[in-house]
Amino acid sequence: MSKGKLLVVDDEENLRSSLQAILRDEGYQTDAVSSGEACLEKLKKNKYDTIFLDIWLPGKDGIAILKEIRSRRPSQYVIIISGHGTIETAVQATKLGAFDFIEKPLSLEKVMLVLRHAFKQKNLEDENRTLKNFIRRETMMIGSSVPMKALRQQIEYAAPTEGRILIYGENGTGKELVATLLHLNSPRKNQPFVEVNCAAIPDDLIESELFGSVKGAYTGATESRKGKFELADRGTLFLDEVGDMSLKTQAKVLRVLEEQRFHPVGSNQAIEVDVRVIAATNKNLEQEIEKENFRLDLFFRLNVIPFEVPPLRERKEDIPELVDHFMTGFCRRYGKPKKRVRSQAMAKLESHHWPGNVRELKNTIERLAIMVPGKVVTLSDLPSSMMKPSRGAKQGKSLNWQEAREKFERQFLVDQLVENRGNISRTAAAIGMERTHLHRKLKTYDIKVK
C-alpha cells in the first residue's frame, strides 16, 4: 500500500524526475506536471495528500497557483519549492497557507523531513476532525416528539445559567446526554465536564474520589490525588446516580455546594472551587427522603431546576428517527452500506416496551448493523427476545384464563406505577380507576409502593 499520494509541480524536467524517483523509493505514489495550470487541472480529478509546488513557473507563478488551490481546497497541504533568491517569496507563501518550503538544490533529508512533518500534522488534523464529528454525532439528541421538544427547550433555557439541575429518568433514557448538552451549551463549555457515578464507587472510596486525598491519608495512599470536584474546577461536575450516595457522603457534598470549598481526605488545607453541579438519578428521591435514605436539604440544593427525561415507550413516535440515526452511524462506523428497516420490523421496534430505553434500542440497532447481511432488515432479523408475547412471560407452561389475567393485571399496574413514579393518586387517575380500588388491587397482588 502506498504511503500517500503526492503531486510534483515544477517546470524543470530533471527536478521532476529526480524528486519523483526519491518519493517513489520512499513508498509514495506520485504524479508530476510542469505548470500551475496543469496542476489545477489535475486537482479537478485527483486528491493529493501533499503538493510540491515550485515558486517560479511559466504562466501563472507559484504564489498565484497557491492562492487558487487554497480557495478551492482550504485544507490542501502544499510544500513550496523555492529557487535561489526566492526565499522571501517562499516565506510569503507560508503566510498564505503553504505548510513549509524547501530550497533548491533539494536535499533528500530535507525533503523527507518536511514531508514527514506534513503527514504528521495532516494525520493529527484528520484525527481531530473525525473525533469532532464523532462527538458531534454522539451528542446529538434525536427526537421530535412533544416531550423531546420540551426537553430541548428546557436545555436551551437552563444551560446558560448557573442553576443546579437534577435530571430524573429511567435507565438509558438519556440523562447523561442531557447533562452533556447542558454543559456544551453553557459558558463553561471549554472547561472540563467531569462525571462521577456515585453508584459505582464503593462507599469507603467515594470521599477520596470526590475530594481527593493527600499522600499518606490512608493505607495505600502513596501519592496525593486530585478529586473530581477539583478536576471539574471552572467546569461542570455530573453527579450520576446521586440517589445512591451514603448519608455521610451526602453531608459532605452538601457542604461543598454551600461553601464551594472542601478538604481533601487527610488534608487540613481547604481548596476552593467554582463548579456547576448537575445531578441525575433513576430513583424517586421523594420516596428516598421519606425512607430517610436521602437528605432533604441536599435535595433542595440539587433540585433547583428539575428535568425529566421520559421513558422511550412514552414517546414511541421518536423511534423511527432514532433507528435511522443509529443505523446510519453504526453502518458508517463498521464500513457497511446503510440498511433499510422494513415497515413490519419498524412497527415491531415501535411497539416494543423498551425497558432499557434508548440505550437498549441503540444496542439492538448496533447488533442489526453488524449481524444482518445485505441492506434490508426484516421482522425475522429482530432479536428473538423481542418476539416474546410480553415481558417476563414464562415460556413453556401455558396459563389458564384466570392466571393470564392476573399476570397481565399485575404487570400493567407495576408499569403504570413506574410511569407515575409510584404516586398512587396519579396512577389511579391515569388508568381511570378509583384510588381505593387501586389500593385493594395492589394489596391483592402484593405490590409494595415506597
Q: From residue 214, give the alpha-carbon distance in Å to each of 219, 228, 250, 254, 383.
A: 11, 14, 21, 22, 50
170 binds Mg ion (CB under 5 A): no
Site for Mg ion (CB under 5 A): how many residues?
1
Is residue 283 a contact point for ligand ATP (CB under 6 A)?
Answer: no
- Contact with ligand ATP (CB under 6 A) among 8, 49, 175, 369: 175
Q: Which of 54, 100, 176, 419 binds ligand ATP (CB under 6 A)?
A: 176
Q: Does 236 bind ligand ATP (CB under 6 A)?
A: no
For Mg ion, give the closer residue by CB, 155 or 265. Answer: 155
Long-range CB pairs of 218-225, under 8 A, 24+ apart, other chains included: 218/265, 218/266, 221/265, 221/266, 224/264
CB neighbourhood size of 144 (10 A): 11
Q: For the CB of residue 425, give the shortest distance to ligand ATP in the complex, in Å.
A: 26
- Residue closer to ligand ATP, measured from CB, 352 or 362: 362
Question: From residue 165, how far is each of 117, 157, 242 by CA, in Å?
Answer: 46, 12, 12
Q: What angle do CA 432, 435, 440 make, to 5 degrees?
A: 110
Binding segment for ligand ATP among 140-148, 204-212, 245-253, 344-352 (CB under 6 A)? 140-148
| Nearest 10 degrees: Cα torsion 21, 22, 26, 30 | -50
C-beta separation of 232 from 273 below 8 A: yes
Q: Which of 176, 209, 288, 318 binds Mg ion (CB under 5 A)?
A: 176
Q: How many residues bind ligand ATP (CB under 6 A)?
A: 18
Q: Which of 128, 133, 144, 171 binds ligand ATP (CB under 6 A)?
A: 171
User: Nearer to ligand ATP by C-beta: 49 or 244?
Assistant: 244
175 in Cβ contact with 309 (< 8 Å): yes
Nearer to Mg ion by Cβ, of 100 and 176: the residue is 176
CB of 176 to Mg ion, least distance (A): 4
Which residue, 253 or 322, is less far from ligand ATP as judged by CB? 322
Residue tagged 497541504 (cell numbers): 77
The residues that bridge with 265 in the sheet, in sequence order, are: 213
How far, in Å, CA of 202 to CA of 209, rounded? 10
Sole window of 13-21, 168-176, 327-335, 439-447 interacting with Mg ion (rule: CB under 5 A): 168-176
With CB under 5 to 8 Å by kind, the binding choice for 62 among ligand ATP, Mg ion, none is none
20 binds, among Mg ion, ligand ATP, none (CB under 5 to 8 A by kind): none
Q: Is the dihedral of CA 358, 360, 361, 365 positive or negative?
A: positive
Contacts of 384-389 with CB under 8 Å at 24 or more apart are 386/348, 386/349, 386/352, 387/348
| Residue 36 vs 174, nearer CB to ligand ATP | 174
Of the pair 142, 379, the CB lying nearest ligand ATP is at: 142
> CB nearest ligand ATP: which residue?
174
Q: Which of 282, 284, 364, 427 binds ligand ATP (CB under 6 A)?
A: 282
Binding mask 325-364 vs ligand ATP (x if CB under 6 A, - otherwise)?
Answer: ---------------------------------xx--x--
Of 36, 62, 174, 329, which lies in the binding site for ligand ATP, with binding defined by CB under 6 A? Answer: 174
> CB under 6 A: which stretch of 60-68, 92-100, 164-172, 366-374 binds ligand ATP?
164-172
Peptide bond into 202 cis (omega under 30): no
What are the helix (H) ranges across 139-237? 146-158, 175-184, 203-211, 228-231
Q: H or E segment at 318?
A: none
- From the list 68, 71, 52, the residue with the least C-alpha distance to 60 is 68
Q: Which residues bind ligand ATP (CB under 6 A)?
A: 138, 140-143, 169, 171-177, 282, 322, 358-359, 362
